[in-house]
Chains A and B, each alone.
Chain A
Amino acid sequence: MACTHLHDLPEVVPDSRRCEACIEIGAEWAQLRMCLLCGRVGCCDASPNRHAAKHAADCGHALVRSVEPGDSWRWCYVDEEYV
């Protein structure tokens, strides 16, 4: 089923090039994702704290994109699919 969360995405700019939530608690991360609704950057699901997914759950922002160099894919946490 096609993702229904893609409509009217704003132009956003990442708020950091680090996972600030990990920095606060002294944690490390594997890769970074950016919220496509607000630009919040958080760590990926392979990282210990999964801050990008927590942000999506807390704020209801379903879509992220990878901000790893060379990656451009997007993921919907609600529909659990690449979009």
Chain B
Amino acid sequence: MTATEPDRVARIHARRVARLREQLLDEDVPLPLDAPQAQVLLEELDYASHPPVHEDRAPRYGSLVSFGARPHWSDLSVPTRLESAGTDLALLRKLADGRASFVVRTADGTAGLVCFDQSLEYEASAVRLRRETGAFVVQRTRDGLVRACGPDGVITWDSVQWSFKPLAEHHAAPIRRLAPQVDPDVLEGLLELSVHWLGAGRVGATLVLALAGDPRALPHLELASAVSVAPLHVTRREHFPALLSVLGQMDRAALVAADGGISTLGAGLQWSERSSVLVAPTNGTRHTSARRFSFDEPSSLVIVVSEDGPTTVYSDGATTTVVRTDACRVGDIATVGTPAIPDPAGETDVVCAVCRKVLLVDAVHFDGWAGGPDEQRCPVCDSVVVIDAYRAAIRGVRKAL
């Protein structure tokens, strides 16, 4: 190696990181690229994308990038922590397999290594690690997928495109707005299980959450072939592997009680003739039955996880939310980072004249607006709903308390 070789390598590396930044900006990837500490995150994404190849093999890799002074170590059970100021970063990186060992990089330039006694390879683990450390979790998986889990969601590079999936927790608020009686911990656990365990693992499933009482008492259930299990709980993460396993091997629905307990699997969903007439078929049998069942069972929420990943929540015959991975250039990510300043004055209820469901509407009014009322489609029966406002959006069906 000549005396100038390190400089040349450093220049090439710097140019590659700069190109990565431009690419992320061009593709609207929701990362804080203008933050002062963004350079460290870019360096880690670049390394995960271009790890040194050894004997024709690109290794796994993982790092935690903290934008604060230190990750929240006190909340973690970390058997091994190595402070390694002054240690060669290239060597540290070779120790980090992205499953149980991670380089730690902080905004002040220090680096270290943490080693866990369990694998944190999967998306669900990365989401929890991010939550507990407050750090970005950057990983290169066995399949060569580059993944960064941050406060907005999970960003992935599959060698073709950047994609984004929002964190499940961000979808709890709009659901609770429609169904305020749902227990927040139960809803958060259900969404985490559905989005980051079942969906990420490509396990199709249907979960029926009863908002009160015994879920087996819901009239439109068919329980002839249902089975009982020892109670598992959606608020206990240690139960998630068992739920992932059993739901991956059974059809039909799992019943979730209002307190989050699951003790019945294999329940069939039925619906009325009126529901068949008013609620159109949706994305195949599993979704159609879930949506029509939810129309007839207003004291429930029905969550459907598709085998190809998306999670859909149905309530009162309407689609309440969909959590899915979108390519960044075409995904609906324009609202990431938009401040959510509620405007209570604009909230109103409108009853659909056809299906009679009570619709929660956000509306904007202007005195003097002469353009006539707004027209929207009912999210349940698709009939036209006329709303006396400049502009209006139907958020879903409001559940009665």
Check if A73 sits within 8 Å of B339, measured CB to CB.
yes
Main secondary structure of the interface of A (DSSP, over half): loop
**Across the interface, do B391 and A73 meet the contact criterion of CB distance under 8 Å?**
no
Q: Output the least CB separation between A71 and chain B (Å).
A: 6
Are B346 and A13 touching (Cβ within 8 A)?
Answer: no
Min CB gap B152→A, angstroms: 15
Is B393 a contact partner of A70 (Cβ separation < 8 A)? Answer: yes
Q: List 14 A-B residue pairs with CB atoms under 8 Å apart, sorted by A's residue number.
A: A11-B367, A13-B369, A13-B370, A14-B369, A17-B371, A46-B335, A67-B390, A69-B361, A69-B362, A69-B364, A69-B391, A70-B343, A70-B362, A72-B345
B371 surroundings in chain A (CB, below 8 A):
16-17
Contact of A82 with B343 in the complex, beta carbons under 8 Å: no
CA distance A15 to B369 in the complex (A): 8
Number of cross-chain contacts by CB at 8 Å: 55
The reply to whether A70 and B342 contact each other, CB–CB distance below 8 Å, is yes
Interface contact A72-B339, CB-CB below 8 Å: no
B341 touches A67 (CB 8 A): no
Is the C-beta of B146 less than 8 angstroms from some C-beta in chain A? no
- Which residue of the partner chain, among B362, B368, B391, contacts A13 with CB atoms under 8 Å? B368
The CA of A13 and the CA of B362, in the complex, are separated in Å by 19
Could you say which residues of chain A place their CB within 8 Å of the CB of B158?
A: none
How large, as a class, is the contact surface on chain A?
Answer: 10 to 19
Partner of A68, one of B345, B366, B368, B391: B391
Question: Does B104 sit at the interface, judged by CB under 8 A?
Answer: no
Question: Judging by beta carbons under 8 Å apart, are A14 and B390 in contact?
Answer: yes
Question: B362 contacts A30, CB within 8 Å?
Answer: no
B374 close to chain A: CB less than 8 A: yes
Residues of B within 8 A of A72 (CB): 341, 343, 345-346
B243 within 8 A of A: no
A 54-83 contacts with B by CB, 8 A: 67-73, 82
Seen from chain B, the residues whose Cβ lies within 8 Å of a Cβ on chain A are 334-335, 339, 341-343, 345-347, 361-364, 366-371, 374, 389-393, 395
| A:16-72 near B, CB below 8 Å | 16-17, 30-32, 44, 46-47, 67-72
Interface centre among A11, A31, A44, A69 (most CB of B within 10 A): A69
- In the complex, A70→B177 CA distance in Å? 13
B residues in contact with A32, CB < 8 Å: 391
Determine how close the nearest CB of chain A comes to the CB of B136; give it in whole angstroms. Answer: 23
B339 x A67 contact (CB < 8 A): no
Tell me if A31 and B334 are in contact (CB < 8 A): yes
Partner of A69, one of B341, B346, B370: B346
- Whether A17 contacts B374 by the Cβ 8 Å rule is yes
Q: Judge whether B334 and A13 touch: CB under 8 Å.
A: no
User: Besides A46-B335, A69-B389, A71-B341, 6 other CB < 8 A contacts?
Assistant: A17-B371, A17-B390, A47-B334, A68-B364, A70-B347, A71-B343
Instruction: Return chain A residues, CB-CB under 8 Å to B392.
Output: 69
* Closest 8 A/B residue pairs (Cβ): A70-B362, A46-B334, A69-B393, A69-B362, A72-B343, A30-B334, A13-B368, A73-B341
Residue from A13, A46, A70, A82 within 8 A of B366 (CB atoms):
A13
* Cβ–Cβ < 8 Å partners of B361 in chain A: 69
**Chain A: minimal CB distance from B175 (Å):** 15
Which residues of chain A have C-beta atoms less than 8 A from B368's C-beta? 11, 13
* Min CB gap B22→A, angstroms: 18
Which chain A residues lie closer than 8 Å to B374 at the CB level? 17
Q: Is the CB of A14 within 8 A of B366?
A: yes
Least CB distance, A73 to chain B, in whole angstroms: 5
Contacts of B393 in A (CB 8 A): 68-70
List the A residue with the shortest CB-CB distance to B333. Answer: A46
Q: What is the CB-to-nearest-CB distance from A67 to chain B, in angstroms, rounded to a whole number?
A: 5
> Which of B343, B364, B367: most chain A CB closer than 10 A?
B364
Residues of A within 8 A of B347 (CB): 70
Query: In the complex, what's the smallest C-beta–C-beta distance from B125 to chain A, in angstroms?
Result: 32
Q: Which of A46, A47, A82 contacts B339 (CB 8 A)?
A: A82
Instruction: List residues of chain A with CB within 8 A of the CB of B343.
Output: 70-72
Considering the chains assembled together, what is the distance between the CA atoms of A32 and B392 in angstroms?
13
